[in-house]
Amino acid sequence: MQHTDFRLEKVNCSACPIRHRAVCARADDNELEKLNAIKFYRSFKAGETIVWAGEEVDFVASVVGGVATLSQTMEDGRRQMVGLLLGSDFIGRPNRETVAYDVTAISDVTLCCFRRKPFQELLSDTPHISQRLLEMTLDELDAAREWMLILGRKTAREKIASFLSIIARRETGSDTVDTGSNVAFDLPLTREAMADYLGLTLETVSRQMSSLKRDDVIVLEGKRRVVIPDFNALLEETGDDADGGVLV
């Protein structure tokens, strides 16, 4: 029974719509087996808080579908997003049972969770996985540092342009967006969430979106769908060096 259970789950895991970057992507059969044994799924409705800052959680997880955010809130209500979790991103960390930020479901979210205790044991046993986790964490650190430049030094217009180019890259999945060609995607965030991402107010976000639209840098179809007729033109607006879509 345990055996069939595992078989079933294994198929299940490979079938996750997006393969989990963190743990499944390069795992071999043996590791997959162990992962499947400690795995379960949880779903959250849009707007629901997945974990509150300071809360204890007994699992780590990988985002299977939907969008979630990490954010910090000050006493007087000022809020700053510090992490944006899309498909296959990782939540939680080994060797720390409390979470430091509010984790919120922005759309309906499905998580593939791993029970913390056994996951940590797996980590110690399988250097492979802990090295993979290190790589991921370094990538996140890079993203955080790019974000810091945006927050600290860019104008509102540059912030919006940078945000759009980041989302375009992540949503379309291609690191090197064909510059010059049409790119289209749905914004995974409301204007307010964008504001929390960029350290702006939602009014300023709205104004700058309108302004970029007026200047034909973007085309809006409805409020959420964005078409970028010329990706290079967008990159011009970000204030970054012009040498292509390099993240770091």
| Residues near DNA (CB under 7 A) | 47, 155-157, 190-192, 199-207, 209-210, 220, 222-224
Contact, 158 vs 238, CB < 8 A? yes
Contact, 39 vs 13, CB < 8 A? yes
The binder of 120, among DNA, its own copies, none, by C-beta within 5 to 8 A per type, is none
Q: What is the residue whose two structure tokens read 């914004």?
A: 187
What distance, in Å, lies between the first and last C-alpha atoms of the chain? 48
In the sheet that holds 219-221, the strands lie side by side as 183-186, 225-228, 219-221
56 counts as binding its own copies under rule CB under 8 A: no
Q: Which is nearer to DNA, 129 or 150 (CB)?
A: 150
Least Cβ distance, residue 41 to its own copies (angstroms):
25
The binder of 220, among DNA, its own copies, none, by C-beta within 5 to 8 A per type, is DNA
233 counts as binding its own copies under rule CB under 8 A: no
198 counts as binding its own copies under rule CB under 8 A: yes
Least Cβ distance, residue 153 to its own copies (angstroms):
4
Among 151, 156, 184, 202, the residue binding its own copies under the rule CB under 8 A is: 151
For the window 20-49, what string marks contact with its own copies as x by the rule CB under 8 A?
------------------------------
Contact, 15 vs 21, CB < 8 A? no
Contact, 50 vs 105, CB < 8 A? yes
Q: Which is nearer to its own copies, 54 or 213 (CB)?
A: 54
DSSP per residue, 161-199: HHHHHHHHHHHH--SS--TTS-EEEE-SS-HHHHHHHHT
The binder of 70, among its own copies, DNA, none, by C-beta within 5 to 8 A per type, is its own copies
Least Cβ distance, residue 62 to DNA (angstroms):
26
- Single out the segment in contact with its own copies by CB under 8 A; choices: 19-27, 93-101, 169-177, 178-186: 93-101
Q: Token pair of 64, please?
A: 């299977």
Q: What is the residue whose two structure tokens read 């989990």?
A: 20
219 CB-near residues (< 8 Å, 6+ apart): 213, 226, 227, 228, 229
* Integer angstrom CA distances of residue 178 from 146, 182, 226: 21, 8, 16
Least Cβ distance, residue 175 to its own copies (angstroms):
15
Least Cβ distance, residue 217 to its own copies (angstroms):
19
75 counts as binding its own copies under rule CB under 8 A: yes
